Structure 1
Amino acid sequence: MKIIDTHHHYWNYNPVDFDWIDDEMANIRKSFLPNDLKQTLAETNVNGVISVQARQCLEETDWLLSMAAEHDFMKGIIGWVPLASPEIQPVLEKYQNNSWLKGVRHVVQGEPDPEFILGKQFNAGISKLKDFDLLYEILIFEHQLANTIKFVDQHPNQQFVLDHIAKPRIKDNLLQPWANLLKELAKRENVSCKISGMVTEASYKNWTEAQLKPYFDVVLEAFGAERILFGSDWPVCLVATEYKNWLAVVAGVIDKLSENEKELFYFKNAEKLYQILNK
């Protein structure tokens, strides 16, 4: 069965832009580019990818778009634009004819203001995305879920994708309040969820499949097969697991799904959400 990986990153490593890569993550303090990912995918069923921004600048968006145009296996990108800027309209207009741009993301998890996601200017920017047929990817920590629900409710006609299942406290084996809040968020049918980024919310060296299972179960129950997507979070995942191992872990969890449900998870949901056309 073919697979679309809806979440990974590229970077030309430098310690300024990537200062979040701490000593525990030293093995990813190097550059990761499309050919590196292509080599990683060579022995898997992954034949299409959606590449996600790692820096908050328009230079990043332009860089990802240029690479997407050069690599057939890249089916689209999630870029960054200054959503809270009063000048967001002309920025979106600049990209409106670029079919590689599928959506945008802001690193809300890194914002010190807990009310950032409810900010007037930020939401004014979000409100424009549907006019350009762009989805918005939500990157938050568990403690930001309550405000995220209020945020999503302001935009009932906007398509959202939740990254990394909202980063629950897996390392501490805590399901609540994450589980209840995630189920509440999932009641909004314009929100889908990437099954990604879980191993790096656990202990890098000591996580177990049994430890992850309750979190998988909550996501599957909350969103159903129609609104979940596969993501690897490569190369960040490499601090805790190899790419093929993550594929195997996920395959074991979704084995209970029907063949049709597996197709939805692995590629059909992605093709629909990211408007992937076969080239």
Structure 2
Amino acid sequence: MRIDAHQHFWLYNAERDTWITEEMSLIRRNFLPNDISQTLKDNGFDGAVAVQADQSHAETKFLVELSQVYKMIKGVVGWVDLRSPHIGEYLEEFSKYPVIKGFRHIVEAEEDGDFLSRDEFLKGIEGLTKYNFTYDLLIRPVHYASTLECVRNNPEQKFMLDHIAKPPIKSQAFDEWALFIESLASFPNVYCKVSGLATEADWTNWRLDHFSPYIAHVLRCFGIRRTCFGSDWPVCLLAASYEQSIEIVSQIIGDYSVEEQQCFWGQNAVDFYQLT
């Protein structure tokens, strides 16, 4: 099965979706599975994982409802209030929906560098482990230390690093990010999505070679069997078409064996998220 492990869907709401700035006006509209389903087929994908874009329980329910209509959605990574004293009740309720595979918080928007290592958040992670839910890490450099602490303290929890930790591709800075990737990859319970790369580059002037050292480093550290592809559609459209998003990754992946490529393009995501 060939899987796009990172897509978003929304009914655009200007009051709610303030993260979509004027610079991002191209995606200030509705995006639903019908808008991408044929493109997925044309590129040989069997389905996708829908990932939250809004931090509300209503968002999680919205993605579940979409999955009941569109079979291309093989799994949902929703949002739940991990810091709530009622987290157990929330997870018990969400566990009734097999399509929900895990959760994510938009930590990159949190100014608190210790966000991921706070006691109330860690208790929420313990709840995810109990219910066998995954957790997607969306972070920036200020969160590197607390990310490592969170992962270190939760060896039984399955973590997925989104967008290879959003390296500074535009400036071509490398060392700080690379050291973090090497440290994080040392934990066997962490996987990594090779996703969202074009939007970290110069949106209008990127070249394929701008991405090569970052992708190669991730593959060197995590290995081909703990990495997977995600398009970050429709956000990727700000800088690259769907086909270009694939090409950015294909330039490096092409040297691997057929079996290894099958793992990267689908089987690893199937195993991590327990997709069917």
User: Same-fold call, TM > 0.5?
Assistant: yes
Match of 2:195 in 1: 196
CA contact (8 A) 1:103 1:136 kept: yes
Number of the residue aligned with 2:160: 161
Question: What's the counterpart of residue 28 of structure 1?
Answer: 27
Asked if structure 2 preserves the Cα contact closer than 8 Å seen for 1:61 and 1:80, the reply is yes
**Residue 218 of structure 1 aligns with which residue?**
217
Partner of 2:251: 252
For residues 26-82 of structure 1, the C-alpha deviation after alignment (integer angstroms, 9 at most, x for no partner) is: 111111011112133232111110000000000000010111121111101000000
**Residue matched to 1:184:** 183
* Per-residue deviation, 1:146: 2.2
Aligned positions, number: 276
Q: Aligned partners of 2:143 and 2:104: how far apart in 1?
A: 16
Q: Quote how far apart the aligned CAs of 1:143 are.
A: 3.3
Q: Deviations over 1:251-276 (max 9, x none)?
A: 22101111111011011111111111
Structure 1: distance between partners of 2:271 and 2:110: 30
Q: Are 1:145 and 1:166, in contact at CA under 8 Å, matched by a contact in 2? A: no
Contact in 1 for aligned 2:211/2:248 (Cα 8 Å): no
Amino acid at match of 1:53: Q
Could you tell me how far apart the structure 1 residues matched to 2:130 and 2:154 are?
A: 12
Distance in 1, matches of 2:46 and 2:141, equals 31
Distance in structure 1 (CA, Å) of the matches to 2:225 and 2:272: 11
Is the CA contact (8 Å cut-off) linking 2:2 and 2:267 kept in structure 1?
A: no
C-alpha deviation, 1:20, in angstroms: 1.6
Moved over 6 A (4+): none
Secondary structure of the structure 1 residue equivalent to 2:42: coil
> Secondary structure, in 3 states, of the residue corresponding to 1:170?
coil
Gaps of 5+ in 2: none
**What amino acid does structure 2 have at the position aligned with 1:276?**
L
Which residue number corresponds to residue 37 of structure 1?
36
Segments of structure 1 that go 5 or more residues without pairing to the other structure are: none
- Once the 2 structures are TM-superposed, how far is the Cα of residue 106 of structure 1 from its aligned partner? 0.5
1:203-242 map, 5 Å: 203-242=202-241
Q: Give the SS at the match of 1:136.
A: strand
Counterpart Cα distance in 1 of 2:92 and 2:15: 30
Matches within 5 A, 1:53-132: 53-132=52-131
Taking the aligned partners of 1:130 and 1:146, their CA distance within structure 2 comes to 21
Distance in 2 separating the partners of 1:142 and 1:34: 32
Aligned alpha-carbon RMSD (Å): 1.0
SS in 2 for 1:177: helix
Q: Counterpart amino acid of 2:73?
A: M
8 Å contact kept, 1:5–1:48: yes
Q: Is the 8 A contact 2:4 2:230 kept in 1?
A: yes
TM-score normalised over the length of structure 2: 0.97
**Deviation of residue 250 (structure 1)?**
1.4
Q: Is the 8 A contact 1:145 1:182 kept in 2?
A: no
182-191 vs 34-43, which moves further:
34-43
TM, length-normalised to structure 1: 0.96
Residues 131-146 of structure 1 aligned to structure 2 (within 5 Å): 131-146=130-145
Code of the aligned partner of 1:63: F
